[in-house]
């Protein structure tokens, strides 16, 4: 009888040990799972600094705004990492095959009538034209791409800054909504792959930067269309031609679309 009781005590003790071990193992397993999940999540944090020399993704070029030189982010933006305002090289500009541009959007001298003074710039978004007003009721007319619905800007401004092969800094809102823009949170250096193209004219109104530009483009097929985030796009050879003819302080009138 005593042997039976001893065997029962031994069996009960063994079961209790197994049960306690299983509970301990389950707790340890849960702890390990949480540990590795947290470790994995920590290792997948987004890249803080962009690779300035990575080539531009052309498919993203139709969704940007050309803001520059302002504070854009709390975590991504670091002014110490901004590239130079202009490229160190004045790259050659490759003219676009004229057959790719509709005849009406090619650079040409046209008759012009209106209140704008000689030397000023008039942008007509509805017609996708930019006029550089000359004497004798004439103007040089350029085809342009303009802002799509919801992004277009209009008003009077003046050119307060000019740059060759300018850098591009995406706005904070764009950095937040698309990881492809996040790589340029601290600015993309100027050059042939930069969406601002070969030249940029910076528009100010009332002494303040409007954050809108007249600039070149990496997408000549966008000329004559409403596709940008508000700025005025020109062919690189056209904006380079205009760049040489206008001075700081030139009046710019952007008509309402």
- Of 128, 132, 136, 231, which one is the catalytic site residue? 231
Structure tokens at 47: 């890249």
How far apart CA 192 and CA 22 sit, in angstroms, is 65
How far apart CA 208 and CA 185 sit, in angstroms, is 23
Q: Which residue has the tokens 């092969």?
A: 165
- Of 128, 132, 136, 215, which one is the catalytic site residue? 215
SS3 call for 30: helix
SS3 call for 197: coil
How far apart CA 67 and CA 55 sit, in angstroms, is 20
How far apart CA 248 and CA 161 sit, in angstroms, is 6
140 phi/psi in degrees, rounded to 5: -85, 125
- Decide if 215 is catalytic: yes
- Decide if 231 is catalytic: yes
Q: Annotated active-site positions, please? A: 215, 231
């Amino acid at each position: 009888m005593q042997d039976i009781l001893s065997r029962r005590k031994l069996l009960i003790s063994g079961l209790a040990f197994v049960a306690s071990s299983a509970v301990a193992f389950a707790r340890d397993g849960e702890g390990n799972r949480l540990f590795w999940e947290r470790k994995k999540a920590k290792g997948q944090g987004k890249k803080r600094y962009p690779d300035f020399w990575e080539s531009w993704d052309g498919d993203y070029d139709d969704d940007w705004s050309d803001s520059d030189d302002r504070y854009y982010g709390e975590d991504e933006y670091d002014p110490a990492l901004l590239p130079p305002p202009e490229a160190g090289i004045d790259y050659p500009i490759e003219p676009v095959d004229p057959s790719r541009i509709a005849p009406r959007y090619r650079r040409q001298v046209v008759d012009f009538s209106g209140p704008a003074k000689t030397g000023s710039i008039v942008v007509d978004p509805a017609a996708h034209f930019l006029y550089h007003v000359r004497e004798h009721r004439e103007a040089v007319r350029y085809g342009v791409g303009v802002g799509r619905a919801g992004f277009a800007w209009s008003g009077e401004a003046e050119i307060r800054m000019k740059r060759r092969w300018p850098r591009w800094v995406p706005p904070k809102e764009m950095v937040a909504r698309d990881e492809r823009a996040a790589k340029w949170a601290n600015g993309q250096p100027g050059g042939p792959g930069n969406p601002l193209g070969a030249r940029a004219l910076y528009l100010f109104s009332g002494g303040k930067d409007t954050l809108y530009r007249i600039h070149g483009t990496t997408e000549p097929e966008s000329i004559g269309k409403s596709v940008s985030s508000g700025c005025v796009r020109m062919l690189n050879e056209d904006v380079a031609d205009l760049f040489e003819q206008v001075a700081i302080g030139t009046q710019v009138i952007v008509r309402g679309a």
